[in-house]
C-alpha cells in the first residue's frame, strides 16, 4: 500500500481539515495526492472516506469524479490517497491574472461538470461544496480543460442534507441554504452556476464573506433591468458571438433561479443549446464554426466524456472574441435579469 511503499515529495496545499502532500510510489514511481487529516478531525476523515467509496461505484473516469485509491491511519492521523491531478480552476485563473475564459472553454468545463452532477443526482448524493478550488484540471498540457470534481468532505445523501450543518462556501451558497429553506441536490446546480460565472467574469458573481451581502446581491441581480442592456456595442469579430453569449446567459439564468423547484437539472442542462451548440447550427455561421455543430450533441458529449487524449479539438475551435467593452458587474447582473430564453433557447 501507499503507507509502506511511498515517500513524500512535495506540498500541494492546506484545507480546513488538514494538509495535502504529493507522494511517489517507490515501486512504480507513480505520483499520488495524499490528504493528511488533522487529528481533531479524525471523524470527518472517516466520513469522507465512506463517501469516496460510494463515489468509486459511479465510475469516476466516466463521470469526471475524483479517483480514490485508499485510506489508512498514520501516527494518529486519518490519511486519504487520491489520483494526482494538475491545478484547480482557481489556481489556473490566478496564474492568468484572472483573465476570463472563452465561452468555448467554459462550455467544455460545464459539460463535464454537468455529467458529474448528473451521476451524483442519480446516486442521491449532494457534493455541497462546489467552488473553483474543488474543480481540478486533470493535466492541462496534455488534456486541455479536462476536469474532475474533487473534495467530498461535505458530501451527503440528499435525504440527510437538512441535518448536514453548514454547507457551501458563502459566495457559492444557494439562497435556500442561507434562508434555511428545504434543500435538495439543486444546491449543487446553483454553486456550479456561480463557478461558470466566475470563469466568465474573472471574479466572483456574489460576495464571498457575508451571507447578508449575498442575499442583497441576489435581489439586485433579479431586479428590474434597463431596456438597453441587450444592445451590443460594436460588431464582434465572430458573428456567432452574440448568440453564443445569449446561450450562455440563458443557461446561467436557469442555473441561478432563486426558486430551487424550477432550477434547471443536470439532464436538462446537458440538453441546453449552450452545451449542444444547437444555437450555432444556422448556415450563416458555417465559416466560423466549421465542424462542431455538425456533430450530433450526444456524440459530442460522449467524446468529451471519454476522450483519453484531452478535450476534443472541435469543441474548443469555436473561438469567441474578447468583448470590446469591459465585462462589468452591472452589465452581467442586468443581462441575467433581462435576457429571455425566447432568444432561441429553451
Residues that are catalytic: 129
39 is in an annotated binding site: yes
Which set of grid coordinates corresponds to residue 34?
495524499
Is the torsion defined by CA of 80, 55, 67, 20 positive or negative?
Answer: negative
**What are the φ and ψ backbone dihedral angles of 179, each rounded to 5 degrees?**
-90, 0
Reduced to 3 states (helix: H, G, I; strand: E, B; else coil), residue 137 is: strand
Angle at 283 between CA 281 and CA 288, to 5 degrees: 80
Calpha distance 17→34 (Å, rounded): 13
DSSP symbol at 102: P
Calpha distance 7→3 (Å, rounded): 9
For residues 187 and 260, the answer to whether their CB atoms sit within 8 Å is yes
Q: 19: which strand partners?
A: 14, 36
Find where cell 432568444 sits: 343
For residues 288 and 277, the answer to whether their CB atoms sit within 8 Å is no
Which set of grid coordinates corresponds to residue 27?
515501486
Annotated binding-site residue numbers for ATP = 39
Amino acid at each position: 500500500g501507499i503507507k509502506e511503499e511511498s515517500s513524500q515529495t512535495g506540498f500541494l496545499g492546506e484545507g480546513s481539515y488538514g494538509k495535502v502532500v504529493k507522494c511517489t510510489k517507490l515501486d512504480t514511481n507513480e505520483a499520488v495526492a495524499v490528504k493528511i487529516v488533522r487529528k481533531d478531525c479524525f471523524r470527518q476523515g472517516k466520513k469522507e472516506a465512506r463517501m469516496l467509496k460510494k463515489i468509486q461505484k459511479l465510475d469516476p473516469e466516466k463521470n469526471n469524479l475524483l479517483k480514490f485509491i485508499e485510506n489508512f491511519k498514520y501516527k494518529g492521523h486519518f490519511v486519504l490517497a487520491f489520483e494526482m491531478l494538475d491545478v484547480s480552476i482557481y489556481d489556473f485563473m490566478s496564474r492568468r491574472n484572472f483573465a476570463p475564459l472563452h465561452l468555448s472553454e467554459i462550455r467544455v468545463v460545464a459539460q463535464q461538470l454537468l455529467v458529474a452532477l448528473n451521476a451524483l443526482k442519480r446516486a442521491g448524493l449532494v457534493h455541497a461544496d462546489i467552488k473553483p478550488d474543488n474543480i481540478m484540471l486533470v493535466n492541462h498540457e496534455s488534456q486541455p480543460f479536462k476536469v474532475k470534481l474533487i473534495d467530498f468532505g461535505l458530501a451527503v445523501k440528499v435525504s440527510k442534507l437538512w441535518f448536514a450543518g453548514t454547507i457551501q462556501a458563502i459566495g457559492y451558497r444557494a439562497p435556500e441554504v442561507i434562508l434555511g429553506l428545504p434543500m435538495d441536490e439543486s444546491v449543487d446546480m446553483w454553486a456550479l452556476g456561480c463557478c461558470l460565472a466566475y470563469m466568465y467574469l474573472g471574479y466572483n458573481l456574489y460576495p464571498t464573506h457575508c451571507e447578508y451581502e449575498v442575499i442583497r446581491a441576489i435581489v439586485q441581480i433579479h431586479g428590474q433591468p434597463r431596456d438597453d442592456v441587450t444592445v451590443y456595442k460594436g460588431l464582434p469579430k465572430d458573428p456567432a458571438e452574440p448568440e453564443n453569449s445569449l446561450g450562455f446567459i440563458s443557461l446561467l439564468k436557469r442555473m441561478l433561479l432563486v426558486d430551487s423547484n424550477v432550477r434547471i437539472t443536470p439532464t436538462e442542462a446537458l440538453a441546453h443549446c449552450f452545451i449542444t451548440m444547437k444555437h450555432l447550427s444556422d448556415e450563416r455561421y458555417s465559416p466560423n464554426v466549421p465542424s462542431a455543430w455538425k456533430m450530433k450533441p450526444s456524440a459530442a458529449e460522449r467524446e468529451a466524456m471519454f476522450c483519453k487524449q484531452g478535450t476534443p479539438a472541435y469543441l474548443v475551435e469555436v473561438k469567441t472574441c474578447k468583448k470590446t467593452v469591459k465585462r462589468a458587474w452591472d452589465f452581467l447582473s442586468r443581462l441575467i435579469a433581462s435576457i429571455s430564453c425566447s432568444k432561441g433557447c429553451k
